Amino acid sequence: MKDTPLSNCERDFLLKAIEEKKRLDGRQTYDYRKMKITFGTDYGCCFVDLGKTRVMAQVSCELVTPKENRPNEGIMFFNIELSPMASPAFEQGRQSELSVKLNRQLERCLRNSKCIDTESLCVVSGEKVWQIRVDVHMLNHDGNLMDAASIAAITALCHFRRPDVGIQGDEVTVYSPEERDPIPLSIYHMPISVSFSFFQQGTYLLVDPCEREERVMDGLLMIAMNKHREICSIQSSGGIMLLKEQVMRCSKIASVKVSEITELLSKALENDKKARKEGGRCGFAESMPQERITALKMDETSVEMTDVTERAKDIVQKTEAPPQLVRSPVVPVPGVGQVGQGLQNTWGLEEEDEEETEECDNSDEEQEEKVTKMEEEEHEKEASREGDVVEISDSEEEDVVILHPETPDKTPKNTESRSHQKGAAASKKRQKK
């Protein structure tokens, strides 16, 4: 099914927020979302949560005949599956552009950088080698699939144990895990990809875009590095024009992020190893958080509070002093602004209308509602004086005789377009009821 398009308001809001260096979830521009790495019961199964993006990688191996031009090297095969489970925008079966892009990027990031020693996967040169297959499944798409996929893939590869093989002469025996402990793959380094998204023709840049931010971005730069500060792959996508300085800056940021992520990764692997050794419970089922329905508890979202006090002060300053409370028994017509009490209406034109409405409204009012009306009027006058508070009424009931003027903004439809004017004018329009 086709993705619902992003509304213009949302797009403008996101872009404006980015210009002010604010993100939807309160992160800083170079912050990653909360990352969680868990492992399944089998070796080689790994889940990565990057905020709400959830990705699963599974490594499996098989003995096959090697390629002709590389007889003593094992084969690595990568596959990323974008199923409709991750997002309704993904279609089952069709190889969409995004799927091709992600697949190729993962291949380049992991295969071309030679992070795995393929020669150690050779069993019998020219006849039997191990084919390592990494399948990455997207479980939930909330932006930045590439980073999550790369982390999941490399973690799964580090976690994976392949069966031990014994060679006696011509015979090759594959030992099952019970007979001999499976051996881990020999991994030279761990390439991790970091995605940078660019906005407004490259003026603003964000790390780890969430799904909304991805929709409004101009383009993406993916840098894959390892903790030794070696760049394994760079790929720019989307129709953006970059400058060399931007690329250099991104690579510096990427090196910092990659070292953080690699630490987290190693810690997760360590923990899992310990847990397995102690015979503790491990695996997918255990790693699922206990989200009971009775406990309606969510993580606190951080709210941007830095300039709240300033903005509040501004707003308070802009509002004028409330008018004096009128104690007279003559209740002014609801909707009449007290710009000056008892002054003549200087607008001239609507004098006749005004008198008519005054009379018909006055006849409806009751004395008891004076006080409540006053308060409401004051509120409404406050609001009207703001100038930037817009009262738009869709009500068509202009002909209804108003008994209780709690909702004094039953203005005729034609004033909606003019409701952007300042307080006096807005209140004047309301006289035309």
Partner 1 sequence: MVCGNMAGLELLSDQGYRLDGRKASELRKVQARMGVFAQADGSAYLEQGNTKALAVVYGPHEIRGSRSWIRHDRAVINCQYSMATFSTAERKRRPHGDRKSTEMSLHLKQTFEAAVMTQLYPRSQIDIYVKILQSDGGNYSVCVNAATLAVIDAGIPMRDYVCACSVGFVDETPLADLCYAEESGGVSSLALALLPRGGQIALLQMDARLHQDHLDALIEAAMTACKGVGKVLDEVVRLHLKEVSVLTGE
Select the span of 103-111, 151-159, 167-175, 354-362 touching partner 1 (CB under 8 A).
103-111
Burial 232-256 (b: 16+ CB within 10 A, else e): bbbbbeeebeeeeebeeebbebbbe
- Coil, helix or strand at residue 256: helix
CB nearer to partner 1: give 252 or 379.
252
Q: Does 150 bind partner 1 (CB under 8 A)?
A: no
Select the span of 47-55, 132-140, 233-241, 310-318 touching partner 1 (CB under 8 A).
233-241
Tell me 26's DSSP state.
S
Q: Does 197 bind partner 1 (CB under 8 A)?
A: no
CA gyration radius, the chain: 33
Contact (CB, 8 A) for 150 and 193: yes
Q: Does 179 bind partner 1 (CB under 8 A)?
A: no
Give bridge partners of residue 133 from the DSSP assignment.
60, 77
Please state the separation of Cα 114 from the chain's center in Å.
32
Contact (CB, 8 A) for 79 and 103: yes
Q: Which one of residues 88, 238, 280, 322 is an interface residue with partner 1 (CB under 8 A)?
A: 238
Contact (CB, 8 A) for 116 and 73: no
Binding mask 239-268 toward partner 1 (x if CB under 8 A, else -) reads xxxxxx--xx--xx--x-------------
Binding mask 351-380 toward partner 1 (x if CB under 8 A, else -) reads ------------------------------
Rounded to whole angstroms, the Cα distance separating 101 from 107 reads: 10
Question: Can you read off the two tokens belonging to residue 404?
Answer: 């209780």
Select the span of 223-231, 273-281, 299-307, 331-339 touching partner 1 (CB under 8 A).
223-231
Contact (CB, 8 A) for 243 and 207: no
CA distances to 223, 300, 355 from 187, in Å: 20, 39, 89
Q: Does 104 bind partner 1 (CB under 8 A)?
A: yes
Q: Which one of residues 6, 100, 308, 371 is an interface residue with partner 1 (CB under 8 A)?
A: 100
CB nearer to partner 1: give 247 or 264.
247
Q: Does 114 bind partner 1 (CB under 8 A)?
A: yes
**53 — phi, psi (to 5°)?**
-70, 130
End-to-end C-alpha distance for the chain, whole angstroms: 49
Least distance CB 67 / partner 1 (angstroms): 12
Q: Does 195 bind partner 1 (CB under 8 A)?
A: no
The size of the interface with partner 1 (CB under 8 A), counted in residues, is 37
Least distance CB 229 / partner 1 (angstroms): 5
- Coil, helix or strand at residue 171: strand
Rounded to whole angstroms, the Cα distance separating 29 from 34 reads: 14
Q: Does 231 bind partner 1 (CB under 8 A)?
A: yes
Q: Does 229 bind partner 1 (CB under 8 A)?
A: yes
Q: Which one of residues 23, 33, 108, 137 is an interface residue with partner 1 (CB under 8 A)?
A: 108
Q: Does 235 bind partner 1 (CB under 8 A)?
A: yes
Least distance CB 5 / partner 1 (angstroms): 12
Residues that bind partner 1 (CB under 8 A): 95, 97, 100-101, 103-104, 108, 112-114, 189, 219, 221, 225-226, 228-244, 247-248, 251-252, 255
